[in-house]
Structure 1
Amino acid sequence: MSGNQPPAADAQEAELRVLRDQIDRVDRQVHQLLNDRARLAQQVAEVKERYRAADEIPVFYRPEREAQVLRAVMARNEGPLGDATVARLFREIMSVCLALEEPMDVVFLGPEGTFTQQAAQKHFGQAAQCHAMDSLEQVFRAVEQGRAHYAVVPIETEDAGLIRHTLDLFRRFDLFICGEVELSPEASSDATARSPRFLVVGRDAIGPSGHDKTSLLLVCQDEPGALHDLLAPFHRRRISLTRLETRSSGEHDWKTLFYIDFEGHNTDAGVQELLAELNGLQVEVKHLGSYPKAVL
């Protein structure tokens, strides 16, 4: 017994010392494994650089691969940490490792401190270089011109309304949706409101992750039965719609614009049949992208 300390206190301190030593050992192991993973990420970058063609730009960030990794993390998690908590930790690990391969430049509609910036950092992690821009058009143009790798843009507000200007820009720019981000209700100003939703936009279409969505813009003449004709191909193939929004094209041409989200990837046989049938109708079809469903 040390000094006047009671025996129970000595016993507690002895047990805590053993546990703290174990924590220190685990910390050293975690630290070593983090550096091992970072070195593997560097080797991945070296391999991609070695085998790329002279005119090819190597792709370091693979949204479908990241979604698969995060889903696997959540599936194998045994606690006591929650699935989402562990997935967020792994996202940050992947973020810093990706920064070793290539620093990721992401643009969003400013000012800083908005929900859109929160969405960008949630999706890409704290190691991504996020830059605020003054307008949505500048955001889209920065990605189109290669001045940024990706953009994060708002698509759905807290009151469940779609951002019409975002839809207009998707129609004008030849970019692809590469992912989606949903902020938790407590991140919004009204905890009872629907979670704000954002889209990740890039220059290239991405492969399937296994749990995907596809988004389309359809423009057709404003005629009776037009919506029924557009939805019939989905119904016949039992493809589930997750979002349907209609609006005037805004061009004084008596046309209606339909924004549709549905389950599946454009490489799926059923989705390919669907797109072929839609292209056979008297309708303008723009494939906005197939992308992983939000994991977190």
Structure 2
Amino acid sequence: MSAKQPPAADAQEAELRVLRDQIDSVDRQIHQLLNDRARLAQQVASVKEHYRQGDETPVFYRPEREAQVLRAVMARNEGPLADVTVARLFREVMSVCLALEESMQVVFLGPEGTFTQQAAQKHFGQSACCHALDSLEQVFTAVERGEAHYAVVPIESENAGLIRHTLDLFRRFNLFICGEVELSPEVSSKAVNRSPRYLVVGREAIGPSGDDKTSLLLVCEDEPGALHDLLAPFHRRQISLTRLETRSSGEHDWNMLFYIDFEGHNTDAQVSELLAELDALKVEVKHLGSYPKAVL
């Protein structure tokens, strides 16, 4: 014959039963809302297919829209879950819903299990189809040929700084930066000088999200005052640089290559004027892209 539970245990079990019933009710509501959101995503895909122009492929993934949604999630969050935690949950929801519209094919420099793969999955979610390739050149080629929708490539390592091979490929391929991904130091290493940074590369230019960066490659003759002349248009407009790297272009000893990240989108009036002024200088300018700042 089992011993009778003490009154306190009975009271606890009764309270827990009520809370569990409430959790089950909330779970059913979440489940219903998730399916509602998925059906809306399918309707979005149908609308885009209906209004497609000829052989033009509809654009299902909009990095600027995703960034806006994630920022809104974090802004309205009231806890107790942390802002970043809630945003990561919503990213997975968006990843699952996007997969209903189109299977997102993403390539990265292999092998599998690298930090680049972690960056790809962090940005696109677990429902994206991520494939490892053997070289960065193959990664860029796959996107340019339409064999993959996007690529995730390393641009800044934790110890070595800017990755030059990636810059060289940006000069050769006509692709755009569509987003950026940062891995936190604890993910990549216990002894880190800076957070590893990755870029999302695609075939289409990205519209403004409201909090953006622009990246440029500039090539000019290595002569006194060259850097001052390049930076003067930024200074006059008080445009903040977030990254500036200089190196030999690798083609001629007298040419220098500058990689510049700065705040703003190319549709902003100030940035548009800046790009026009740079084009007027004796310098080769390649606009790599304007894209949302990393949200997570």
1:206 equivalent to 2:206? Answer: yes
**Shift in Å, 1:51:** 1.0
Query: How many Å apart are 1:254 and its aligned residue?
Result: 1.1
Matches within 5 A, 1:100-119: 100-119=100-119
> What is the alpha-carbon distance in structure 2 between the residues aligned to residue 189 and residue 141 of structure 1?
30
Corresponding position of 1:65: 65
Report the equivalent of 2:195.
195
Aligned length: 295
Counterpart of 2:34? 34
**How far did 1:189 drift?**
2.0
Q: Give the letter for the 1:265 counterpart.
A: H
Letter in 2 for 1:7: P
1:114-158 CA-to-partner distances (Å, cap 9, x unmatched) read: 000000000000000000000000000000000000000000000
Query: Structure 1: how far apart are the matches of 2:82 and 2:160?
Result: 28
Query: 1:226-265 alignment to 2 at 5 Å?
Result: 226-265=226-265
**1:271 is matched with which residue?**
271
SS in 1 for 2:181: strand
- TM-superposed deviation, 1:191: 4.0
- Where 2:161 maps in the other structure, the secondary structure is coil
Secondary structure at the residue paired with 1:113?
coil
SS of the residue corresponding to residue 272 of structure 1 reads helix
Aligned to 2:24: 24
**1:126 to 2:126 alignment:** yes
For 1:238, what is the secondary structure of its paired residue? coil
In the TM superposition, residue 159 of structure 1 has moved relative to its aligned partner by: 1.7
Structure-2 change in CA distance of 1:11 and 1:191 (3 Å): farther
Amino acid at match of 1:206: I
Unaligned runs of 5+ in 2: none
2: CA distance between counterparts of 1:242 and 1:258? 13
Q: Is the 8 A contact 1:160 1:194 kept in 2?
A: no
5+ long unaligned stretches in structure 1: none
Asked whether the equivalents of residues 214 and 264 of structure 2 are also in contact (C-alpha less than 8 Å), the reply is yes
What secondary structure does 1:79 align onto? Answer: coil
Task: Assess if the C-alpha contact under 8 Å between 2:181 and 2:200 holds in 1.
Answer: yes
SS of the aligned residue for 2:260 comes to strand
CA–CA separation in structure 2 for the residues paired with 1:261 and 1:55? 35
Letter in 1 for 2:274: L
Percent identical = 87
Structure 2 matches for 1:163-182, cutoff 5 A?
A: 163-182=163-182
Shift of 1:45: 0.3
The letter for the 2-side match of 1:226 is: A
Counterpart in 2 of 1:282? 282
Deviation at 1:66, TM superposition (A): 0.1
For 1:252 and 1:238, the matched residues in 2 are separated by 32
Counterpart residue number, 2:223: 223
Cα distance in 1 for residues equivalent to 2:283 and 2:72: 40
Alignment deviations for residues 162-192 of structure 1 (CA, whole Å, 9 cap, x no partner): 0000000000000000000000110112344
- Looking at structure 1, the residues matched to 28 and 160 of structure 2 have their Cα atoms a distance apart, in angstroms, of 47
Which residue matches 2:98?
98
What amino acid maps onto 1:138 in structure 2?
Q
Q: Which amino acid aligns with 2:52?
A: R
Structure 1 contact 106–151 (Cα < 8 Å) conserved: yes
CA distance in 2 between counterparts of 1:190 and 1:151 reads 27
Give the TM-score of the pair, scaled to structure 1: 0.98
* Partners of 1:278 and 1:46 in 2: CA distance: 42
TM-score, structure 2 normalization = 0.98
Kindly indicate whether the alpha-carbon contact (under 8 Å) linking 1:108 and 1:120 is maintained by their aligned counterparts in 2.
Answer: yes
Paired residue for 2:77?
77
Within 2, Cα distance between the matches of 1:215 and 1:207? 14
What is the distance in 2 between the residues matched to 1:182 and 1:235?
Answer: 27
Tell me how far 1:253 sits from its aligned partner.
4.5
**Structure 1 residue aligned with 2:293:** 293
Letter in 2 for 1:257: L
